[in-house]
Structure 1
Amino acid sequence: TVIYPPVDVADFPLLRDKEDFYVTASRMVPYKKVDLIVEALSAMPDKRLVVIGDGPDFAKVRAKAGPNVQLLGFAGAEVLRDHLQRARAFIFAAEEDFGIAPLEAQACGTPVIAFGKGGALETIVPLPEAESDEPSLAPTGVFFYEQSVAAIKAAVERFETAGVAITPEACRENALRFAPERFRAEFTACVEREWAAFRGSA
């Protein structure tokens, strides 16, 4: 039985009006691949990227940052929330078992450009790969399938072209599927079901 962890969606209110910058936020450790995001966006000088976070890889990431990339370092919850709300999209290049940050972004009504592996496959609804495909749910992001600068650049370009199909409301609605109320209900039901089965077999 898989029960997804709760995401405090109430702490990340919907904002419909977006500004012309991308954002990523992460602890700067190797598997988060923040350096790839920074290198990719630095090679797209007409795009602006804001990077929130600190860690052992900070100097490595800063060395790859072009003039269109702003590194804020460690920032508190209010700064993070403000940038997640206003960003055009959130970029996420790590492979995580779950990944809370992409859902916090979606709760703000912000699309996610993510590495299509791990938990992201279950928390983000991608744009259809072909125009003829009909998504079962309203899309909330774009996937790339290789942790590389070229793949991230291609995903950003695809988002710029087709991302108009992603609405803030769809992103918010998707994030609500992971709200604390859902977690409590599913966890309670699981415990009660297993307890009843245990007692029945005793």
Structure 2
Amino acid sequence: MKNRKIAVIHDWLSVNGGAEIVLKHILALCPNADVYTMVDILPLEQRTWLDSHKIYTSPLQRFNFIAKRYRYFIPLMPYLVEQFDLSRYDMIISSSHAVAKGVIVHPHQKHIAYIYSPMRYAWDSMYEHERLGVFGRGLMRLMLKRWLHKMRIWDYVSAQRPDILIADSDFIKQRIQKSWRREADIVYPPVEFDECVYTESKSDYYVTLSRLVEYKRIDIIVEAFNQMPDKKLIVIGDGVSLNALQKMANSNIIFTGYLPRKEAMGYISKAKAFIFMAKEDFGIAPIEASACGTPIIAYKEGGACETVIHCKTGIFVEEQTSKSLIYAIDFFEHQRIDAHECMEHAFTFSVENFKKKMLSYIEIRNI
């Protein structure tokens, strides 16, 4: 692998989220790889893991005010990603939830695509966004839906380009098959446990950690605890929905805002349970909570079905409603979930397991 020239394509570098953790560990396997991305606005203090790599960006990077508003330019990105000239590389690895998988490759090159999801907003998530009013009204709504129609066509066509598709969960594997009519292998994302503190002794409160945006459904959790004034909830995170959630919450619900990772893990490690009501592609936060020995109460959809074992590492919520959550919490309080079993299960999603499985694909010369 030392003699091979490798290019790694990532949608955009703006925050250190779950996709960036995956990218970091792919690059650790390919220390001489070059990185291509639409824009790179990752703050200096968050990018030490990129220091040894040459980074190439699209024309959006040339103007700072455009780069910082890159989401407004997503309609241009299918064209822009196809302009990257990768002819000098032997292998292409894309890390994609949007356009990275769509790079043009040559017959002699091998392309492995790690997929977080087909374009969520263009496929099945479109209907949820419409219900939430994301598309607005009138002409704006019509134009956005027409654009999404075109994006679905490009998303399907570009998904035929990689030699191998790797899904980050079985849930995404099924989405890939439905949306793109392709088969994918599964390699679960790496979860970093460096600041997860295992604690068997728990305090008398529940916790959730999330970006406070509509689709995370923190509102359901708040509604449920409003109806259970004897139970305490701590909400960790910040986002556009913070003010609205604070206004609707009773005094038994505490909002901490954004917390550094170590401090957030301190709260999670001592919580009675971690609550997760979003329909996520995978969901790293519940696994981090499990590593702390904290049981999970999770909505029974999406990636949570693969990361939570019912009545062993947590409890499932059957419906995405406050009533169903209240029922699940009551059921949980009559169960005994073993903290050590939670921790052991979490470590099956370790960085080491991810690297071992990804390396088996990268080392294949003839795909």
TM-score, with length taken from structure 1: 0.88
Alignment match, 1:114: 298
Look up the equivalent residue of 2:316 and give its one-letter code.
Answer: F
Q: CA RMSD in A?
A: 1.0
Q: Deviations over 1:15-44 (max 9, x none)?
A: 111101000011011110001101101210
Look up the equivalent residue of 1:33 and give its one-letter code.
Answer: R
In 1, the alpha carbon distance for the partners of 2:197 and 2:254 equals 24
1:48 and 2:232 matched:
yes
1:100 and 2:290 matched:
no
1:3/1:183 contact within 8 Å kept: yes
Alignment match, 1:172: 343
In 2, the alpha carbon distance for the partners of 1:63 and 1:159 equals 28
Q: CA deviation at 1:142?
A: 0.4
In 1, the alpha carbon distance for the partners of 2:225 and 2:333 equals 13
Q: CA deviation at 1:176?
A: 0.3
User: Which structure has more RCO (C-alpha within 8 Å, separation ≥ 6)?
Assistant: 1
- The secondary structure found in structure 1 opposite 2:323 is helix
Alignment match, 1:4: 188
2:197/2:266 contact within 8 Å kept: no
2:293/2:339 contact within 8 Å kept: yes
- Structure 1's consecutive aligned runs of 4 or more residues displaced over 4 angstroms after TM superposition are none
In 1, the alpha carbon distance for the partners of 2:246 and 2:202 equals 26
In 1, the alpha carbon distance for the partners of 2:231 and 2:333 equals 10
Alignment match, 1:159: 332
Q: Deviations over 1:62-97 (max 9, x none)?
A: 122111111111111122111111000000000000
In 1, the alpha carbon distance for the partners of 2:362 and 2:310 equals 33
- The secondary structure found in structure 2 opposite 1:91 is strand
Aligned residues: 183
- The secondary structure found in structure 1 opposite 2:190 is coil
- The secondary structure found in structure 2 opposite 1:44 is coil
- The secondary structure found in structure 2 opposite 1:70 is strand
Q: CA deviation at 1:197?
A: 4.2
1:9/1:175 contact within 8 Å kept: no
2:300/2:317 contact within 8 Å kept: yes
- The secondary structure found in structure 2 opposite 1:161 is coil
Alignment match, 1:132: none
2:195/2:261 contact within 8 Å kept: no
- The secondary structure found in structure 2 opposite 1:10 is coil
In 1, the alpha carbon distance for the partners of 2:212 and 2:346 equals 25
Q: CA deviation at 1:46?
A: 1.0
Q: CA deviation at 1:196?
A: 4.6
**Larger gyration radius, structure 1 or structure 2:** 2
2:195/2:262 contact within 8 Å kept: no
Alignment match, 1:190: 361
Alignment identity in percent? 41
Look up the equivalent residue of 1:51 and give its one-letter code.
Answer: V
In 2, the alpha carbon distance for the partners of 1:10 and 1:74 equals 19
Instruction: Provide structure 2 residue ranges, at least 5 long, that are not aligned to the other structure.
Output: 1-184
In 2, the alpha carbon distance for the partners of 1:42 and 1:144 equals 18
Pairs within 5 Å for 1:63-102: 63-102=247-286
Alignment match, 1:130: none
In 2, the alpha carbon distance for the partners of 1:148 and 1:63 equals 19
